[in-house]
Structure 1
Amino acid sequence: MCGRYIITDTASDLAAMFEVEHEGSNLPEPSWNIKPTEQIPIVLESAKQEPAVRRLESARWSLIPSFATEMASSFPTFNARSESAAEKPTFKKSVASRRALVPATGYYEWHTVGAKKTPYFVHSDDGMPLAFAGLYSWWRNPALAEDDPARWVLSATILTADAQGPLAAIHDRIPVALPEETWDQWLDPHTVGDQAFVDAAVAASRSQAETLRFYEVAPIVGNGPELIEPVAGDSARSDTM
């Protein structure tokens, strides 16, 4: 799963990296400790204009389906299992045409043995940002007036898949990190997504997952670059625990 991650690039850096045509307002600053329900930058393509416009927007990290009656959910929605996302009412419409990329410098995962949880930082082997496969949704808050600018809430989730290779030694789930050659197809709002489409994206992500490295870090407290410093004696690795 992916319950904490970091993005150290600025909005302008991300806009250039993902060839964004429109930057939204109130985009979040870089963070080394992003938690569910906080605002995150996402890349999406809007079909309201032709041709579709690629946008960088700020979204709530925990998807609110359009049919929800309130923002809070009885179950976590910051991650969506790729194996069943197209079948779940919460995510089905988003799989069909509201797909996003979630930029990340890396993410944290905890290896659990008994009562002990050891945090690790997972990142690309070349230090370049990752692009997680995401889904987004627009939700209208029924408690707010029609003329309230805050009545529409953009939210997003990150798809996860079963872990393979060395990463499976830390946790049994990983975020789906898409290779660059799949970004356009994943974002295309005119391509109707279904479970087969998601499965193909996960298959394409396996080569990207093989490039990930990880190392142990200190307990994740606060927010700053010191959080991703390796503990004494550890360094980036991918083949041992």
Structure 2
Amino acid sequence: MCGRFIITDTSPDLVAMFDVEHEGENLPEPSWNIAPTEQIPIVLESLKSDPKVRRLESARWSLVPSFSTELVPKFPTFNARAESVADKPAFANSVVSKRAIIPATGYYEWKTDGPTKTPHFVYSDDGLPLALAGLYAWWRNPTSSQDDPARWVLTATILTTDSLGELAGIHDRMPVILSEEWWDRWLNPHVPGDQAFVDAAVASSAEAAETLQFHEVGAVKGNGPELIEPVASRSPEA
């Protein structure tokens, strides 16, 4: 799973990296401790634009399907299992044409050993942001008036798959990391998605996963660059 992650790049950094043409409003600031339901930056292309326009937008991290009557679903939706995502009513429509990239400098994962859970930070060996495969959906608040600009809420989820290599020793799940060759295809809403399409993206992510490194960190509390420091390098006062 992927329950906490960080993004230290600024909006201009992400615009340049992902060739974004439109930068949305109220984009979140860099953060070292992003939790589900918080705002995150996502990259998407919309069918409403012809020709399509690549956008960087702020989304609520926990996908809410359009048919939901509440903003908080009865089950967690900040992650979606890639191997069955097209069959799940909450995610199926998004698989078809509402796919996103969720940039992440890295993510936290906890290794469980009996009652002990030890946090680790996972990141790319080249220091560049990871392009996590995601889905998005627009949710309309049924209690809001038609002229309320806040009635539409952009929401998103991160796809996960079986962990590879040494990462499997920490947790059995990991986010799907898109290789750069897949970015355009994954975002293109004119390319209809189905389970076979998702499976192909997951298969291609194995190479990107090979670039991952990880190290143990201290308690993931608060928000700051000290959270990702290796335990061995922290000062006694930290």
Deviation at 1:49, TM superposition (A): 1.7
- 1:19 paired with 2:26, answer no
What's the counterpart of residue 29 of structure 1? 29
1:83-162 correspondence to structure 2 within 5 Å: 83-162=83-162
Q: Matches of 2:143 and 2:25 in 1, distance apart?
A: 23
Letter in 1 for 2:26: N
Q: Matches of 2:181 and 2:49 in 1, distance apart?
A: 24
Deviation at 1:18, TM superposition (A): 0.3
- 1:75 paired with 2:75, answer yes
Q: Matches of 1:128 and 1:171 in 2, distance apart?
A: 23
What's the counterpart of residue 50 of structure 1? 50
What's the counterpart of residue 174 of structure 2? 174
Q: Matches of 1:136 and 1:233 in 2, distance apart?
A: 38
- 1:3 paired with 2:3, answer yes
RMSD: 0.9
Deviation at 1:131, TM superposition (A): 0.4
Letter in 2 for 1:48: K
Q: Matches of 1:226 and 1:139 in 2, distance apart?
A: 36
Q: Matches of 1:233 and 1:79 in 2, distance apart?
A: 32
Cα deviation digits, residues 35-73 of structure 1 (max 9, x gap): 000000000001212110000000000000000001011
Cα deviation digits, residues 116-141 of structure 1 (max 9, x gap): 00000000011111000000000110
* Secondary structure of the corresponding residue to residue 178 of structure 1: coil
Deviation at 1:143, TM superposition (A): 1.0
Q: Matches of 2:143 and 2:79 in 1, distance apart?
A: 26
Deviation at 1:165, TM superposition (A): 0.8
Cα deviation digits, residues 91-135 of structure 1 (max 9, x gap): 000000000000000000000011100000000011111000000
* Secondary structure of the corresponding residue to residue 86 of structure 2: coil
Answer 1 or 2: which has greater helix percent: 2
Letter in 2 for 1:186: W
Size of the aligned set, in residue pairs, is 234
Letter in 2 for 1:47: L
Task: Extract unaligned runs of 5+ from structure 2.
Answer: none
Deviation at 1:232, TM superposition (A): 1.0
Q: Matches of 1:13 and 1:231 in 2, distance apart?
A: 29
Task: Report the identity percentage.
Answer: 72
Task: Extract unaligned runs of 5+ from structure 1.
Answer: 235-241
Letter in 1 for 2:64: I
Q: Matches of 1:7 and 1:49 in 2, distance apart?
A: 27
What's the counterpart of residue 202 of structure 2? 202
Deviation at 1:233, TM superposition (A): 6.3
Q: Matches of 1:233 and 1:16 in 2, distance apart?
A: 33
Q: Matches of 2:113 and 2:56 in 1, distance apart?
A: 39
Q: Matches of 1:71 and 1:65 in 2, distance apart?
A: 9
Deviation at 1:231, TM superposition (A): 0.5
* Secondary structure of the corresponding residue to residue 161 of structure 1: strand
Query: Which runs of structure 1 show a deviation greater than 4 angstroms over 4 or more consecutive aligned residues?
Result: none
* Secondary structure of the corresponding residue to residue 12 of structure 1: helix
